Structure 1
Amino acid sequence: MTDILILGAGSAGCILAARLSADPACRVTLVEAGTRPTDPDIARPAMWPFLQGRPYDWDYTTVPQPGTAGRVHHWARGKALGGSSNLHAMFHVRGHAEDYEDWVAASGSQRWSYDALLPHFRATESWSCGGDDLHGDAGPMPILLPEAETHPLVRDFIAGWVAMGQPRLRDHCGRALIGTAPNALMIRDGRRITTAEAWLTPAVLARPNLTVLTGAEVHRLRLEGARVTGAELRVEGTEQVLAADRVILSLGAIGTPLLLMRSGIGDPAVLAAAGVPCRMERTELGRNLHDHMLGAGVVCRSKRPVAPSKLQVSESLSYQAEDPARTTGRPEIVVGCVVAPSVAEGVEAPAPGTGFTLLFGVTNPTSRGRLAITGPALSDAPMIDPAYLSTEHDRHLFRVALKRARAIAASPALADWVAEEVLPGPALRSDAELDAFIARVAITHHHPVATCAMGRDEAAITDADLAMRGLDNLWIVDASVIPSITAGPIHAAVMAIAESFASGFRG
């Protein structure tokens, strides 16, 4: 029997294990389906686009998406200590303060406001440029704000936006988000740093009250009335049961709802179709699924060689309003500069070194989908339907973002770089043509959220304290509880959620 059983050693789970095991009287067990990562490419920042599909990636796939020309999208999710922090692009962006006001409205609690989360953001961080009232300097995760390493193309990209009236920000973790800055990155001494490296230090792993179990897939939870008594695991082909007093799910926006469904919790119709008896009706489980997408993209052939990035290829984001004259408040679109000819699958790109890509997307999409189990076994692939580009809001803003990316490509600041626009190509101009192009090149930004969203009403899966409604000793701490996506990458928010939860957890 363990006091606290944490299922999932991703970005939230590693933080929880380190923080909660700091109490020597509390026995903590951390369970991870993957193993300790050994691939040296993980540490190489520029390799991140090539890690997907390797053994430490769950490599989920969506159902064909009508909004993206019927394409199936691969959703990379980490299967190793550190979870998706082994795979992601290392961006550190908090989003805008208004994003968190939406969390307050959904949950009914001020604990999820930006200002309430600010100490927890700062507690995760150690900025290379030093700390202040908005940035941490003593947290476990190093945050590199590049200076000398910034690519010359990216310097001109930033200067071009400033010349067009957009603010030049120091970084994307201040009060303002509209504007352009180099991407702050989870890198130290040229290496990616995962949450496992940052929080599960040798000293933490040596704690006698912390047990880390790897290579253990969680099949289902054991329920007795309104309590979870433990979890059924598969370890090296054998079945085991771990008993626990308190259980925290940190399996992510995909893994957490799938585990609950396999345990007999969810929409009775979904469970019946999968051959799982319903133990607890929760019809909202797996719903409200949404994700960021990026168009990949506006591809330019360069007039001169494009040297390799010294960072991780995607070096700058520019957050903007639909109206370019508005330079304050919450953004609606984003344009990014990739120091390489990055494209969607099935689209031909210029050779490396001969071009670059301007990504474009929508910061707060309104398309909502769902996921569900298709059978009772771990091997039964889930049904994942994000319903990409299913709202006119998203389609319209994607057009705006595409036009904005084309504008910076045609600006004087990039005149010495751009030989020609390869994609979408100058012939494409009408909204219908742009919509068809976007459907062909839109890709996931790997930010799924909201499948166990917190909310103030009884239908919501989790409450403001991240306790799961209907069960007395189960909490969910991962991206699945986010009720609506932040304007930027979600990793910084997930770390802050875990820090906030750990700081106040009494169970």
Structure 2
Amino acid sequence: MRDLGAWDYVIVGAGTAGCVLANRLSEDPDVRVLLLEAGKRDNYLWVHIPVGYLYCIGNPRVDWGFKTAPDDGLNGRSLVYPRGKVLGGCSSINGMIYMRGQARDYNHWRQLGLTGWGWDDVLPYFKKSEDHYAWDNELHAQGGNLRVEKQRINWELLNAFRDACEQLGIPKTEDFNGGDNLGSAYFQVTQKSGFRWNGVKAFLKPAQGRPNLQVLTEAHVSRIVFEDGRAGSLELDVAGEASKVTIDGELLLSSGAIGSPQLLELSGIGNPEILKKAGIEPFREMRNVGENLQDHLQLRPVFKVKNAATMNMMASTWTGKAKIGLEYLLKRSGPMAMAPSQLGVFAKTDPSFETANVQYHVQPLSLPKFGEPLHPFPAMTASVCNLRPESRGHVHITSPNKSDQPEILPKYLSAEADKRVAADAIRLTRRIMAAPAMKPYQPEEFLPGPDYTSEEELVTAAGNIGTTIFHPVSTCRMGVDEASVVDGRLRLRGFDNIRVVDASVMPTISSGNTNAPTVMIAEKGADMIKEDRKALA
């Protein structure tokens, strides 16, 4: 067995959070930091070109290739569930949308007893990372590691949709990230000069010259080995070679909402009944590991349109494709520079909601599902998701083999409140498309179809057209109660040298895309780790 030596900090997972931790912790030259990534380096061309997500999702070169279990809320369907298996993790294949969520989200965490996690507490960490293309004020910052830019596109059809929203009382806004994201705007994105700006470029490359930081790719951890009740070492494969890592200080799990609970369960930490059924000898009972899975279910209503440019038509001919490629080559703009979703809208499906409860990702294109060709007719998609779902699912191992994917069951639409929001979201979408601003384009509902009208029919329709928007969180829930998996300082309960630092610790899902909150969690987590080390010195 190959011995990889002893380290002060061993980080499992070089996704968004892992890259942040590796940078911040290795700032101290007196500590040794090892970053482990099961995937390969991010030298795949399509990682860096924004439209390349189309060639990354489902591609084993960069994606774990997970699928959900058949879900009753989706009328028995199973979904492709992309997760980045590459340096940079999901930041290398995601939608690049920079979205913090709402102040209400973090104030709710504080109300749950998590002191230090309110909006005023976390805002400085959002700003610490940020390198905003235009703003440097009380809400935004320049000079940080994470580049945030406006998109290099403009679509007549999306502008009309925005006007239609305004006609329904949904205002236009310039900033989704000030604490209240109600309104419509083009999304700001983690790009620089028309290229994806992933966790590697933002955080890892600036730290690469440090002699106290080592990064290993193709390093797949099998289990944590415990000694005297602490994490003593890891067993792993590095490019297929059995290896061992000794943990002198802390073990930091940053493998995300799927990978972090999976590794804990493979190591005997979790619900004893689930572990025994999977062939794992329980080491420490912790029944909520892998529970509390939350995700944004995006409903994808599609409308045929006329009299407007759409990607469906632009990309349908070799001439059109050539023009798209040439524009990107010469200007780094146009469709190849697009994030998967271009226009954002935050709205209320019912005025009783305190803040916006749904988010639109509007696109001048349509397709049956990711990875399939665009529809052969001009159309647009007005995807809409419930920002604060009450449905809760789980992630659990089914075998002792680290290479076997765990069971992922989101249990979408299992809560009655989520069914109501889904039906109301489809109704709201229809009202927007029927507004005067959209009339020149003669929208005609294609999916789910105008025949779905009653509450029951609309819930069925939601199950038919719903899919993940790739935001799984909360499977290692942070809390002050004994049933929580980690405490407010991200320490795994019952252990003094294991922390979980990634999106899995969110008590409740943030109201929007989850990459920026994950960066914030890692920034704050790094400071906590440094503070605790200093206190012990």
Shorter-normalised TM-score: what interval?
A: over 0.9
Which whole-Å CA distance do the structure 1 matches of 2:68 and 2:32 have between them?
38
Kept in 1: contact 2:157–2:308 (CA 8 A): no
Output the TM-score relative to the length of structure 1: 0.95
Q: 1:315 to 1:435 in 2, by over 3 A?
A: same
Q: 1:103 to 1:351 in 2, by over 3 A?
A: same
1:340 is matched with 365
Which whole-Å CA distance do the structure 2 matches of 1:150 and 1:109 have between them?
41
Q: Do structure 1's residue 239 and structure 2's residue 242 form an aligned pair? A: yes
Q: 1:175 to 1:346 in 2, by over 3 A?
A: closer
SS of 2:445's partner is: strand
Match of 1:72 among 71, 78, 87: 78
1:189 Cα deviation after fit: 0.7
Kept in 1: contact 2:54–2:370 (CA 8 A): no
Q: Do structure 1's residue 286 and structure 2's residue 290 form an aligned pair? A: yes
Q: Deviations over 1:186-233 (max 9, x none)?
A: 1111111101111112x4111100011111000000101321011111
Which whole-Å CA distance do the structure 2 matches of 1:376 and 1:495 have between them?
31
Q: Deviations over 1:400-455 (max 9, x none)?
A: 11111111111111222234222223332222222221111100011111111011
Q: Do structure 1's residue 433 and structure 2's residue 433 form an aligned pair? A: no
Which whole-Å CA distance do the structure 2 matches of 1:229 and 1:346 have between them?
42
Name the aligned partner's letter for residue 375 of structure 1.
S
Structure 2 spans left out of the alignment, 5+ residues:
1-5, 315-334
Name the aligned partner's letter for residue 318 of structure 1.
V
SS of 2:305's partner is: strand
1:113 is matched with 118
1:42 Cα deviation after fit: 1.6
Kept in 2: contact 1:314–1:337 (CA 8 A): yes
Kept in 2: contact 1:313–1:339 (CA 8 A): no
2:418 is matched with 394
Match of 2:136 among 131, 142, 160: 131
Q: 1:385 to 1:67 in 2, by over 3 A?
A: same
Q: Deviations over 1:277-332 (max 9, x none)?
A: 111110111111110010112332333332563522411111111225x7x94211
Q: How does 1:428-507 map to 2 (within 5 A)?
A: 428-505=452-529, 506-507=532-533
1:241 Cα deviation after fit: 0.6
Name the aligned partner's letter for residue 423 of structure 1.
L
SS of 2:111's partner is: helix
Which whole-Å CA distance do the structure 2 matches of 1:423 and 1:3 have between them?
54
Kept in 2: contact 1:334–1:401 (CA 8 A): no
Which whole-Å CA distance do the structure 1 matches of 2:169 and 2:410 have between them?
35
1:91 is matched with 97
Name the aligned partner's letter for residue 471 of structure 2.
H
Match of 1:207 among 186, 210, 228: 210
Kept in 2: contact 1:296–1:343 (CA 8 A): no
Which whole-Å CA distance do the structure 1 matches of 2:500 and 2:485 have between them?
9
Name the aligned partner's letter for residue 399 of structure 1.
A
Q: Do structure 1's residue 187 and structure 2's residue 157 form an aligned pair? A: no
Kept in 2: contact 1:343–1:357 (CA 8 A): no
Match of 1:122 among 121, 124, 127: 127
Structure 1 spans left out of the alignment, 5+ residues:
none
Name the aligned partner's letter for residue 347 of structure 2.
Q
SS of 2:467's partner is: strand
Name the aligned partner's letter for residue 465 of structure 1.
R
Q: Deviations over 1:71-98 (max 9, x none)?
A: 0111100011100011111111111111
Moved more, 261-270 or 430-439: 430-439
1:101 is matched with 107
SS of 2:150's partner is: coil
Match of 1:258 among 246, 255, 262: 262
Which whole-Å CA distance do the structure 2 matches of 1:152 and 1:416 have between them?
11
Moved more, 157-166 or 215-224: 157-166
Q: How does 1:283-322 map to 2 (within 5 A)?
A: 283-307=287-311, 309=335, 310-322=337-349
Q: Do structure 1's residue 225 and structure 2's residue 250 form an aligned pair? A: no
2:434 is matched with 410
Which whole-Å CA distance do the structure 2 matches of 1:163 and 1:24 have between them?
57
2:350 is matched with 323
Q: Deviations over 1:428-484 (max 9, x none)?
A: 222222222111110001111111101101121100000001111011100110010
Kept in 2: contact 1:366–1:394 (CA 8 A): yes
Q: Deviations over 1:324-376 (max 9, x none)?
A: 5x7x9421122231121144479996326x11111112110000011111111
For this pair of structures, how many residues does the alignment match? 501
Q: 1:198 to 1:347 in 2, by over 3 A?
A: closer
SS of 1:302's partner is: coil
Which whole-Å CA distance do the structure 1 matches of 2:467 and 2:291 have between them?
21
Which whole-Å CA distance do the structure 2 matches of 1:181 and 1:301 have between them?
21
Kept in 1: contact 2:97–2:339 (CA 8 A): no
Which whole-Å CA distance do the structure 1 matches of 2:305 and 2:345 have between them?
21
1:380 Cα deviation after fit: 2.4
Output the TM-score relative to the length of structure 2: 0.90
Match of 2:446 among 406, 422, 429: 422
Name the aligned partner's letter for residue 145 of structure 1.
K
1:25 is matched with 30
Kept in 1: contact 2:156–2:308 (CA 8 A): no
Q: Do structure 1's residue 16 and structure 2's residue 26 form an aligned pair? A: no
SS of 1:112's partner is: coil
Name the aligned partner's letter for residue 481 of structure 1.
V
Aligned residues: CA RMSD: 1.8
Q: How does 1:263-274 map to 2 (within 5 A)?
A: 263-274=267-278
Q: Do structure 1's residue 351 and structure 2's residue 376 form an aligned pair? A: yes
SS of 1:337's partner is: strand
2:160 is matched with 156
Q: 1:419 to 1:457 in 2, by over 3 A?
A: closer
Identity %: 35
Q: 1:49 to 1:364 in 2, by over 3 A?
A: farther
Q: 1:159 to 1:301 in 2, by over 3 A?
A: closer
Moved more, 55-64 or 44-53: 44-53
Q: Do structure 1's residue 363 and structure 2's residue 363 form an aligned pair? A: no
Moved more, 383-392 or 161-170: 161-170
Which whole-Å CA distance do the structure 2 matches of 1:439 and 1:345 have between them?
17
Q: Do structure 1's residue 3 and structure 2's residue 8 form an aligned pair? A: yes
Kept in 2: contact 1:230–1:242 (CA 8 A): yes
SS of 1:3's partner is: strand
